[in-house]
A and B are shown apart, each in its own frame.
Chain A
Amino acid sequence: MSAAISTNGLTRRFGDFTAVQNVNLDVAPGQFYGFLGPNGAGKSTTIKMLTGLLAPTSGSIQVLGMDFATNAIEVKRQIGVVPEGMALFGRLTASEYLLFVGQMYGLDRATTLQRSEELLEFMNLAGETRKLITDFSHGMQKKLALAAAVIHAPKILFLDEPFEGVDAIAAGTLKQMLQGMIARGATIFLTSHVLEIVERLCTHVGIINRGELIANGSLEELRAGVVAQTDPSDATKLLTLEEIFIRVIGKQDGNSLAQPEAELSWLG
């Protein structure tokens, strides 16, 4: 069975700066994959390349067995994306936007209208029929962006910080929806700085730092690997994802995150 997402030597340079270097990634179908990394590590650049927002300098991307470069349109038909900026058209209403998105993905009008009605109700946005998206709060915009990303029932969903700015109740609803999608066989690729959420939702995790993929596997695999490399004496220790993350990044950065309290002493 081919991977849902697979990259080979994925590299992106901006002039002399290499943002992503030789990333080889495999995400199996049905996986809830968390893609982590510190700020500026190359997460957004990678997700932009995986979704067609940015062309790679070299390397290849396979999505559902199709080469992205040669089958971009077909690949895009199969994926849903909530990008960093949410890609909303501010001067449309929520239902107009969903109608537009559905039709852009080739859904017929009746199906689009039915799904958008259900999605708006599910996202608790059904009462905002006359309000323009530009007048929505950040959280409402996020929910709408997610609704738009799933309206065509994508096989793979890419989410860039989906829970940022979303209230706790809505976040719970969204998590439930995402888990439902996974149960039905969809693949989700998620980036988030909230490691507790990633730990709770994701079965597999990749960690990128300075443009390189430095860890990749299931949570158990990562846990075992980190313990074996940093604290072999206690193989039974159950590390949290945050601890795994800090150890993996700290190891590559020479433990620069180890003693933050020693810095900035003038802060009082």
Chain B
Amino acid sequence: MAGVAQEPSAGPGNVPETGKSLSSWRFFTTIAWLRWRIFANSLRGKGAWGELAVRFLSYPLLALMIFGPSVGAGIAGYAIVHRGRDAWLAAPLWVIFALWHFINISTSTTAPSFDLTTLTRFPIRYADYFLIRLLFGLLDPPTVAGITCLAAMCLGVAIADLTLLPWAACALFLYAACNVLFSRMLYSWLERWLAKRRARELVTGMILIGSLGIQFGAQFMQRMSEHRGAQPSAWVLKTGHALVAANWLLPPGLTAKAIEHMHGGSVGQAAAALAGVLVYTGVFLLILHVRIRAQFLGENLSEAPAAAQARRVRLRPAEAIAGAASTPSRRLLPAGVAACLVKELRYLLRSGPKLYVLIMPVFIIVLMSARSSGLSYLGVSRGMTGILFSYGCAYMELIFVGMLYNSLGSDGWGVQFYFLSPMRFRDVMLAKNLLVGCILVVEMVLMYLVAASMSKAAPLDLTVATISWTVFTFLLNTAIGNVRSITSPKGVDASKMRSQNVSGVNSFISLLVVLVSVGLGALLFWVCRWLHTDYWIAAGVFVILAGVSMAIYLATLQRLDGIAVEHAETLTRELCKG
């Protein structure tokens, strides 16, 4: 057709052009444009401007979080070099390493995500793909924080001794690159392993054990250090020495040694230490390459079998759909609510991370009870005995908000079923709330028993005040959380280590509610103390507030069907992605 032939790219002479790969620069600009468009388009949905506002509000907070450690790193760099103890630079470098990677695990993004692995279907060169995977994400908060801390440290070293600046800059730059590669390598492999459900559960279990172990270890070390006059045992000393020795063979220690040797004039040794960091960087790069190369060549991480095995099919349609009349049995709960409750319980038992966070409040109380018991070495902790239960409840509320404000997040495509089934949406949400409520009650009982048996039972007035405060906060959060779960849901992917989308507005609201309720609790607590009265005044106030929040909860529960219908499209669109 004449009209088509006039198009510049449509003529037969242009056909070979399509076979050429785009230049690297065009790929970068195209992907940058794509990310920008995804971001811009994300502002078109309902509540998008609220998300943007929260994001902008969070930037100063983020800047403060980066600024604080950076100033600390700068001061540490200056002080250590100024005193001539350059090897001690390993300490702040380990801290930066821990912050960099710990924050990486803990943070979730509120920005619209884009899976870079989907680029492999385009005619992209591997080198470009690798670079894209490496460079996109350099501006995420942990990386920016890590790089800023290292830059500040470099500045501190330079102020202490200007002649060290070129070498320190070089060493710290290499250390930064090493960390960037380590982080990328770690998460790409973790995602590889976590693609399998069994592995996911195993890793979660390991993280749980590791985390609990670290806390026990820290507790133990603290008690050792508090034991005035007592000398640490031989094996503790041996372990300590071994760890320090191992440190000099690892990137933070090697980087510190490189700067120390250069400061001392031993150029050869400085170069050797830096070469060590370079080797680590190279190894991380290589391991990352193996992973990304596998992705690039087309890797299927799905656990689905390649094909269903052919089996003998027994055709029994008559029995299969015979419409026997159902006879509802006696139940404590309506059948639908009970079914949803069981489903929620099954989901919870298969979600390692959720179980992990749910265990934490009880675990914390175990630790604190141990500290405040007669075994403790510090009198300070003993002052907390009476309020341990209250502390645990406050911590528990903080933990629970994540479950309450995105309670439909893990349902995915299943959310459609709630609209298709003859169930009221409020019953679905009631079942979800009941499960969380049951867990809350069980945890409260456990925390009370732990605190009472290991340390000291809280007095009755404080116990009543704490329970009523917990009920008040829980019901208020649940009421708001139910509405926000429907109006601003975010899909949760159990196979992703990080980059889980969360609603910024939801996070902001939940934080606000918890802060206000904790503030109110603390205020009444101190008022009672100031008046030298017992806590019955606080208990009375919180019982009334719990009643009010129960009324709010019931009122919002009644409205959930309407809200769900109104937001059905948002809900299904958001949760049925991918």
> Chain A residues in contact with chain B, CB under 8 A?
51-55, 73-74, 76-77, 81, 83, 85-92, 96, 99-101, 103-109, 111, 115, 118-119, 121-122, 124, 127, 132, 134-140, 150, 153, 167, 169-170, 173, 176-177, 180-181, 184, 262-266, 268
Looking at the assembled complex, report how far the CB atom of A99 sits from the nearest CB atom of chain B, in whole angstroms: 8
Residue from B10, B339, B346 having most chain A Cβ neighbours under 10 A? B339
Interface segment among B161-169, B312-320, B465-473: the answer is B312-320
Given contacts A52-B419, A150-B321, contact A90 B412 (CB under 8 A): yes
Name the CB-closest residue of A to B306. A137
Please report which residues of chain B, range 267-315, place their CB below 8 angstroms from some CB of chain A when the two chains form the complex: 302-305, 307-311, 313-315
Residues of A within 8 A of B327 (CB): 108
CB within 8 Å of A: which B337-364 residues = 338-340, 342-343, 346-347, 350-351
Q: How far is the CB of A160 from chain B (nearest CB, A)?
A: 11
Given contacts A91-B350, A265-B1, contact A52 B420 (CB under 8 A): yes
Interchain CA distance A90-B417 in the complex, whole Å:
12
Instruction: Return A77 CB to nearest CB of chain B, in Å.
Output: 4
Nearest Cβ in chain A — how far from B421, in angstroms? 5
Cα separation A188 to B274 with both chains bound (whole Å): 72
Chain A residue, CB-CB nearest to B18: A266
| B12 CB to nearest chain A CB (Å) | 6
CB distance from B430 to the nearest CB of A (A): 14
A172 and chain B: residue at smallest CB distance: B313
User: A76-B421, A104-B423 are known contacts. Are A53 and B1 too (CB-CB below 8 A)?
Assistant: no
Check if A118 sits within 8 Å of B197, measured CB to CB: no
- Among A107, A140, A153, point to the contact of B308 (Cβ < 8 A): A140
Kindly list chain A residues whose C-beta atoms are within 8 Å of the C-beta of B318: 180
Taking CB atoms, residues of chain B closer than 8 Å to A173 are 313, 315
- B576 close to chain A: CB less than 8 A: yes
Is A54 a contact of B569 with CB atoms below 8 Å? yes
Binding stretch for chain A, among B234-242, B328-336, B535-543: B328-336
| A91 vs B412: C-alpha distance when bound (angstroms) | 10
Q: Which residue of B lies closest to A14 (CB)?
A: B569
Provide a sorted-by-A list of 16 A–B residue pairs whose CB atoms are within 8 angstroms: A52-B420, A54-B568, A85-B416, A87-B413, A90-B414, A91-B350, A91-B410, A96-B346, A124-B308, A135-B303, A137-B308, A150-B321, A153-B323, A265-B10, A266-B14, A266-B15
CA A176 to CA B321, docked complex, whole Å: 12
Q: Which residues of A contact B302 (CB under 8 A)?
A: 135
A170 CB, min distance to chain B CBs, angstroms = 8
A35 to chain B, nearest CB (A): 17
Q: B residues bordering A, Cβ < 8 Å?
A: 1, 4-5, 9-12, 14-15, 197, 302-305, 307-311, 313-324, 326-329, 335-336, 338-340, 342-343, 346-347, 350-351, 410-417, 419-424, 494, 565, 568-569, 572, 576
CA distance A92 to B348 in the complex (A): 11
Residues of B within 8 A of A85 (CB): 413, 416, 572, 576
A89–B420 alpha-carbon span in the complex (Å): 14
A55: chain B residues within 8 A (beta carbon): 565, 568
Query: Within the complex, what minimum Cβ distance (angstroms) separates B411 from chain A?
Result: 7
Contact check, B421 vs A101: say whether CB atoms are below 8 A apart: yes
**Of the residues B197, B307, B328, B414, contact of A89 by C-beta under 8 Å:** B414
Q: Are B329 and A106 in contact (CB under 8 A)?
A: no
Report the minimal beta-carbon distance from B171 to chain A, rounded to whole angstroms: 46
- CA of A68 to CA of B14 in the docked complex: distance in angstroms? 56
CB distance from B94 to the nearest CB of A (A): 38
Identify which of A53, A73, A77, A140 contacts B416 (C-beta below 8 A).
A53
CB proximity of A262 to chain B, nearest CB, Å: 6
> Is the CB–CB distance between A153 and B329 below 8 Å?
no
List of A residues within 8 angstroms of B565 by Cβ: 55
Min Cβ gap B474→A in Å is 25
Indicate whether A91 sits within 8 Å of B494 (C-beta atoms), given known contacts A54-B569, A106-B326. Answer: yes
Question: Cβ of A167: which chain B residues have Cβ within 8 Å of it?
Answer: 307-308
Residue A118 contacts which of B4, B313, B320, B329 (CB distance < 8 angstroms)? B320
Checking A88, A119, A127, A170 against B413 with a beta-carbon cut-off of 8 angstroms, the contacting residue is: A88
**What's the minimum C-beta distance from A181 to chain B, rounded to whole angstroms?**
6
Residues of B with C-beta under 8 A to A99? 339
Which of A103, A184, A266 touches B338 (beta carbons < 8 Å)?
A103
Closest CB in chain A relative to B366 CB, distance in Å: 29
Say which residue of B311, B320, B322 sits within 8 Å of A127 (CB atoms): B311
A73-B422, A105-B422 as given contacts; A115 in contact with B412, CB under 8 Å: no
Residues of A within 8 A of B417 (CB): 87-89, 101, 104
Instruction: Determine whether the beta carbon of A153 is less than 8 Å from that of B572.
Output: no
A74→B422 contact, CB < 8 A: yes
Q: In the complex, which of the residues B329, B336, B420 contacts A51, with contact meaning CB atoms closer than 8 Å? A: B420
CB neighbours of B416 from chain A (8 A): 53, 83, 85, 87
Partner of A91, one of B11, B305, B308, B346: B346
